[in-house]
Chains A and B, each alone.
Chain A
Amino acid sequence: MIRFEKASVTYPGGVHALRDITLQIPDGQMMVIVGLSGAGKSTLIRTINGLVQPTSGDVTIDGRSIRHARGRELREIRGRIGMIFQTFNLVKRTTVLNNVLMGRLHATPSWRSVIGRYRADDVEIAMQALERVGIVDKAYVRASNLSGGQQQRVGIARALAQQPKILLADEPVASLDPPTSHVVMRDLQRINRELGITTIVNLHFLDLAKVYGERIIGLRGGELVYDGTAAHADENVFRDIYGRSLTADDVLEPVPAV
């Protein structure tokens, strides 16, 4: 269970990225966060693994506060939270397998990482993660030689190799074309359902949010303005979240009016 208790984030420039967020995310849920850019989606996701610290309030995971965690404790919490990024954040000059093995760092002693000798068990976990996203054949290919969709699947495999309880995805399909976007979203959905990993996804395409989100929350100006099921989230709800009428840019594939 992830619990936000009146969590606020104010950046050094004085920007209020999150205001008084109170939120509970039960284990195993697939939650989608929608909102305009700058609404605080990325910040909210990053407060869960402590990449951004709340300036007031608290975020707890299974009762453990992320806010005061430092050093070993923080790394331990982060080790159980996988993260997927809009720009994939792969090391392009090294192999796919080496990238996925980054997911095993939290369980690997530093000296092993320095000489680049991972345990056989960890290599096996990484290979299984690649199998789950269907690109194990690319294990020894350089990451730069993969297409965008394949690179994002490497990103997912890296997160899975952590054997996480929680998966965070920050705009995972924003750099991909529509068909690939669906492939990646289906991967995330399958992982959520089959492995029971709590999955939190930032999206700005409303049609994707409705299709894949079990629960949708809406952010506007750092405030929580909607929290409900995907079935409930109709056009009026999204209009309210965005604070303006919707346009074709807000959906991945505009549905032609029949």
Chain B
Amino acid sequence: MTAATPAVQRPPRPKRSLAVPAGLLGAILITLWAASEQFGIGFDIAAILEDLSKGSLILTEVLQPNFAFFPRTIEPMIETIQMAIIAATIGCAIALPAGFLASRVTAPGRISLAVTRSILNVIRALPDLLYAMVFVTALSIGPLAGILALIFFNIGVGAKLLSETVDAVDRGPIEAADAAGSTHVQMVRTGVFPQVLPNYVAFSLYVFELNIRASTVIGIVGAGGIGNTLNAQMGFFNFNNVGLIILELFILVFVIELISIQLRRRLT
């Protein structure tokens, strides 16, 4: 069968843009530069493999957790979970209004948008470890400093994730609320909040999970929880005990992930 003569001529294929290969090449060159001995940090895979063999001694001990140490990890582990829950609850509660203020869609005005975004950028720019150091210095060693550090960390993460979700909501209900004579707060509450609620719950659980992990790092500077124990055991070179703590953290994060998957499935 012969094909019918097309009525309209097909357009010629547009020339391929060189932007993608050029960008890829650029990324490779920059990475090589950063890794080079002459200009960068001297990233050498052979040397790493050699050093790793020295580290394997530690690794074998970590992989053989000392379960006899378990009773002594219970209390700090519970403290870590408590810190993570308190900080996630307070941090995400603050992140909720902050997230709406930081989205172009729900900000009441340009000035408040710019101010909220600047504040959140500063909060997010500082790492959790730095917050912990500041609060440990200001308040003394202990879980309170850790909780405050985690709260700031949580506000930054939670508000960022929420505001980006709000940016992408369906604008239809917003128009409907406006047309019905709602106030700005009513519009956000009835037209936008139900759209982002499942995401917000998922973020909050993610933030809680981040807190469990972050607690190991902030414990190093004395901000309470399992991190303190972990740091002490590393200091004593008790890597079997370190191995147990890591195993417990792994299980804990895994369980939280399972719970969060279940909750998200029910909400969406």
B142 surroundings in chain A (CB, below 8 A): none
Please report the number of residue pairs spanning A and B whose Cβ atoms sit closer than 8 angstroms: 86
B167 at the interface (CB under 8 A from A): no
Stretch at the interface among A90-98, A219-227, A249-257: A90-98
A132 at the interface (CB under 8 A from B): no
Q: In whole angstroms, what is the CA distance A94 to B180 when docked?
A: 18
A93-B194, A102-B190, A114-B189 given; A158·B182 CB < 8 A: no
Q: In whole angstroms, what is the CA distance A40 to B176 when docked?
A: 20
Question: Cβ of B195 and Cβ of A93 under 8 Å apart?
Answer: yes
A162 at the interface (CB under 8 A from B): yes
Stretch at the interface among A1-9, A81-89, A187-195: A81-89
A113 at the interface (CB under 8 A from B): yes
Q: In whole angstroms, what is the CA distance A89 to B178 when docked?
A: 11
Question: Cβ of A162 and Cβ of B181 under 8 Å apart?
Answer: yes
Whole-angstrom distance from the CB of A222 to the nearest CB of chain B?
21
Q: In whole angstroms, what is the CA distance A94 to B183 when docked?
A: 20
Q: Mark B168-209, 1 if CB is under 8 A from A, else 0.
A: 001011011111111101100111001101100000000000
Question: Cβ of B190 and Cβ of A113 under 8 Å apart?
Answer: yes
Choose among B170, B179, B183, B195 the residue that contacts A110 (Cβ–Cβ < 8 A). B183
Choose among A87, A105, A113, A158 the residue that contacts B181 (Cβ–Cβ < 8 A). A105
B186 surroundings in chain A (CB, below 8 A): 105, 108, 110, 113-114
Question: Cβ of B173 and Cβ of A105 under 8 Å apart?
Answer: no
Q: In whole angstroms, what is the CA distance A176 to B180 when docked?
A: 23
Q: In whole angstroms, what is the CA distance A83 to B181 when docked?
A: 11
Choose among A51, A77, A108, A114 the residue that contacts B175 (Cβ–Cβ < 8 A). A51
Question: Cβ of A91 and Cβ of B190 under 8 Å apart?
Answer: yes
A106 at the interface (CB under 8 A from B): yes
Choose among B172, B180, B191 the residue that contacts A79 (Cβ–Cβ < 8 A). B180
A75 at the interface (CB under 8 A from B): yes
Question: Cβ of B180 and Cβ of A105 under 8 Å apart?
Answer: yes
Question: Cβ of A110 and Cβ of B185 under 8 Å apart?
Answer: yes
A91-B194, A102-B190 given; A49·B172 CB < 8 A: no
Choose among A49, A90, A101, A116 the residue that contacts B179 (Cβ–Cβ < 8 A). A49
Question: Cβ of B185 and Cβ of A105 under 8 Å apart?
Answer: no
B195 surroundings in chain A (CB, below 8 A): 91, 93
Question: Cβ of A75 and Cβ of B189 under 8 Å apart?
Answer: no
Q: In whole angstroms, what is the CA distance A162 to B177 when docked?
A: 11
A93-B197, A93-B198, A102-B190 given; A81·B179 CB < 8 A: yes
Whole-angstrom distance from the CB of B156 to the nearest CB of chain A?
25
Q: Mark A129-159, 1 if CB is under 8 A from B, else 0.
A: 0000000000000000000000000010011
- Chain B residue nearest to A113 (CB atoms) is B186
Q: In whole angstroms, what is the CA distance A168 to B179 when docked?
A: 10
Q: In whole angstroms, what is the CA distance A162 to B178 when docked?
A: 13
**Residues of A in contact with B (beta carbons under 8 Å apart):** 49, 51, 74-83, 85, 87-94, 98, 101-103, 105-106, 108, 110, 113-114, 116, 155, 158-159, 162, 168
